[in-house]
Amino acid sequence: MTTAEHHTPEQPTHFAGVVAATTPAYRRFLTDHGIDPDTVADMPDLSALPITTKENYRRVNTLADLQPGEPGEVEVIAFSAGSSGTPTAWSRGRASTDHGATMFGHVLEETADTRRRSALCAVTFPSGQYVGGLFMAQMLFDLQRRHHRLTVTTPGMDTSAIVQFIEEAADIYDQVVLFAYPPIVRDLLDTHGDLLRRHRVIVIVGGEPVSEAWRTLVLTMLGHPNGDLVRVVYGATDVGFVGYETAATIAIRAAAAHDPVLNTTMFGTQYTSGDLVQQPAFVQYRPEHTYIEVDSEGYLLFTVGGVLPLVRYRVNDRGAVLTGTQIRNQLHDNGYSDLAESIDATGSYLLVHGRTDVAAIFNAVNLYTDYFRPAVEHISLATRLTGRFVAYCEPDSEQRTTLVLDAELRPGQQSDPDTAEHLTQLTIASLRQLSAEYRVVHHQRGHAAEPIVRLKPFRSDGFVTDGKQRTTR
């Protein structure tokens, strides 16, 4: 029997049977859970299989046991960025590159018309030992072979190196495409906005969610406030790139940011006038590449092929899976027939509410990183803050637990009481809006439940320059 590298999860139970038959680690995992690996292919429902995670599957097995095929099938071994712990090694093969390149090809054709227009592509995700930059570059090289007019540079996260590439080469090309984490985009616009505005710049962001307010700000800073120049892609080191924004998903998200009823219908998050708008990432994905389930707790489960295949794997993102028909019906019911027609009725779509990693446990209330993001990224603070932050709890002098939010100032900005107070009030509003448990604690404890906000100098301790920003301690 061939290995999972040569299969896709279009028929997920059959795929799981292939993995069970060929992958030593997964056979052992099933046996430990009381399941005969040889019966998996005949199971009526994938949900009968246990959930795998980094902790119970990847970290307790060697790559040799996780990879069913021959060593020659592995193109690359690289590490995760370690944003939620110790960096972890992951293997990639040809199937993963093919799938990712297909996805990015769609994004680049829609935003940059790269089969006809030349593009200087700057991959600013971490390179070297890390997965992000290396995998992205591989996919772009694959797109070159598919006749996309791309030139690839890999400066990593060093803004001076990125700027040097743009200064040296961008004039030769029709456009520049930046592949970056959101804070790097802001750094470049803050420090070299004039340079970027001299070129047509498309921004492809990944690694963390962004708000529509962030998108609007970046487009304005690029000099194209009404342009279609910012796209979000969704993926994880473990499972590869999964989904991508389209013009239709962005338009729906933007409409919902101004229509609380539509936002509640589409995304399940409520707000009223003056509130901070909380929205998930909203992307289209290809189920023939990635089979996605949602478990009883709302976690996304991924079944993906490759040289390191995964079955029902949880990355700790919560979300929802929607069909194009479901989205169309929701839009029609809310009076958005034009937007409904822009959605592919046969397409598959994914809502991602972000990592559930707890930033802080405060008075027995779990506070997640996404609860703080709307405040730190608020448009009223865009000229003062970079968008990076770290949230945590620490004891005060009398060993009482205090909630702390460290936020990074933009270059040249100084800490001042008015900005700190403004961020404090925005953070309180966001926490109260997004956490019913925090509202109770805040009502009971008042000022003692409010965060201490510390404005930190640009690039001070705790704010990274060479990897993905950790938002927890």
- Measuring CA to CA, which residue among 251, 275, 276, 279 is closest to residue 265? 279
Question: What's the pLDDT score for residue 1?
Answer: 40
Asked if residue 7 has pLDDT above 90, the reply is: no
| Mean residue pLDDT across the chain | 89
The answer to whether residue 422 scores a pLDDT higher than 70 is yes
Dihedral (CA of 233, 234, 240, 241) sign: negative
Instruction: Using pLDDT thresholds of 50, 70 and 90, give the confidence band for residue 224.
Output: very high
Q: Which two tokens stand for residue 125?
A: 């995700």
How large is the average pLDDT for residues 217-222? 93
Choose between 81 and 35: higher pLDDT.
Answer: 35
CA dihedral 44, 46, 51, 52 (to 10 degrees): 120
pLDDT in tens, 92-141: 899 889 999 999 999 999 999 999 999 999 999 877 777 778 889 999 99
Residue 308's φ and ψ, nearest 5 degrees, are -125, 80
Query: How large is the average pLDDT for residues 21-37?
Result: 96
Query: Could you tell me which residue, 326 or 436, shows the higher pLDDT?
Result: 326
- Considering only CA atoms, which of 398, 260, 265 is closest in space to residue 328? 265
The sign of the dihedral angle between the CA atoms of 41, 45, 46, 51 is: negative
Q: Is 420 exposed, middle or buried (0-12, 13-18, 19+ CB in 10 A)?
A: middle
Amino acid code (one letter) for 125: F
Top pLDDT among 444 and 323 is at 323
Q: Distance from first CA to last CA of the chain, Å, rounded?
A: 45
User: What CA–CA distances, in Å, run from 354 to 26, 351, 374?
Assistant: 27, 9, 13
Spatial strand order of the sheet with 401-409 comes to 385-395, 401-409, 452-456
Q: What is the pLDDT of residues 172-192, one digit of tens each?
A: 999 999 999 887 888 899 889
pLDDT(399) > 80:
no
pLDDT at 8 over 70: no
Residue 13: pLDDT over 50: yes
Query: What is the per-residue pLDDT for 11?
Result: 86
User: Hey, how many other C-beta atoms are within 10 angstroms of the C-beta on 472?
Assistant: 16
Tell which wins on pLDDT, 169 or 472: 169
For the chain, count helices (H), then strands (E).
15, 19
Residue 273: is its pLDDT beyond 70?
no
pLDDT on residue 265: 95
Residue ranges of the alpha helices (H) in 198-323?
Answer: 212-222, 247-256, 260-267
